[in-house]
Amino acid sequence: MDWHILVQQLVNGLTLGSIYGLIAIGYTMVYGIIGMINFAHGDVYMLSAYVTAICLATLFSFGVNSLPFALLATLVMTMVITATYGWTIERIAYRPLRGSTRLAPLISAIGVSLVLQNGVQLSQGAKTQGVPSLIPTTLRFGEGDNFVQITLVQVMIILVSLSSMAALTWLIQRTSLGRQCRATQQDRRMAAILGINTDRIISTVFVIGAAMAAIAGVLVTLNYGSFDFYIGFVTGIKAFTAAVLGGIGSLPGAMLGGLILGLSEALFSGMVNTDYKDVFAFSLLVLVLIFRPTGLLGKPEVEKV
Partner 1 sequence: MDHPSFPRCLLAMALAGGLGLSGLAGAADTIKIGVAGPMTGGNAAFGEQFWSGATRAAEEINAAGGVNGQTIELVKGDDACEPKQAVAVANRLLDQDKVAAVIGHFCSSSTIPASEVYADAGVLVITPGSTNPKVTERGLPTVFRMCGRDDQQGPMAADFIIHKLKAKKIAVVHDKDTYGQGIADAMRARLKELKADKKEVLYEGLTRGEKDFNPLVTKIKGTGADVVYFGGLYNEAGPLLRQLRDQGVKATFVSGDGSLDPAIVTAAGGPKFVEGSYMTSVREARNIPAAKKVVEKFKAAGADPAGYTLYAYASLQSIAEAMKGTQSTDGKKLADWLKSHAVATVLGPKSWDAKGDLKESGFSIYIWGADGNYKEMAQK
Q: Does 302 bind partner 1 (CB under 8 A)?
A: no
Which has the closest alpha carbon to 150: 139, 136, 142, 158?
A: 139
Dist. CA 82–CA 60, nearest whole Å: 21
Nearer to partner 1, 97 or 192 (CB): 97
Under the criterion CB under 8 A, does residue 57 sit at the interface with partner 1?
Answer: no
**CA angle 200-204-209, nearest 5°?**
150
* Of 1-9, 58-66, 173-181, 196-204: span binding partner 1 (CB under 8 A): 1-9
Which residues share a beta bridge with 150? 139
Q: Does 283 bind partner 1 (CB under 8 A)?
A: no
Own/partner pairs, 38-41, CB within 8 angstroms, 24+ separation:
38/94, 38/109, 38/206, 38/209, 39/106, 39/109, 39/110, 39/112, 39/113, 39/236, 40/89, 40/93, 40/109, 40/110, 40/112, 40/113, 40/116, 41/209, 41/210, 41/213, 41/236, 41/239, 41/240
Looking at this protein, which amino acid is placed at residue 42? G
d(CA 258, CA 271): 20
46 binds partner 1 (CB under 8 A): no
Site string for partner 1, 94-123 (x = CB under 8 A): -----------------------xx--x--
Contact residue for partner 1 among 269, 288, 295, 297 (CB under 8 A): 269
Total number of residues that touch partner 1 (CB under 8 A) = 47
Binding mask 182-201 for partner 1 (x = CB under 8 A): --------------------
Decide: is 225 part of the binding site for partner 1 (CB under 8 A).
yes
Segment interacting with partner 1, rule: CB under 8 A, options 29-37, 189-197, 233-241, 287-295:
233-241
Tell me: does residue 149 bind partner 1 (CB under 8 A). Answer: yes
Helix (H, G, I), strand (E, B) or coil at 37: coil
Interface positions with partner 1 (CB under 8 A): 1-2, 5, 8-9, 12-13, 15-16, 19, 117-118, 121, 126-133, 138, 145, 147, 149, 151, 220, 224-228, 230-231, 233-235, 265-267, 269-270, 273-275, 277-278
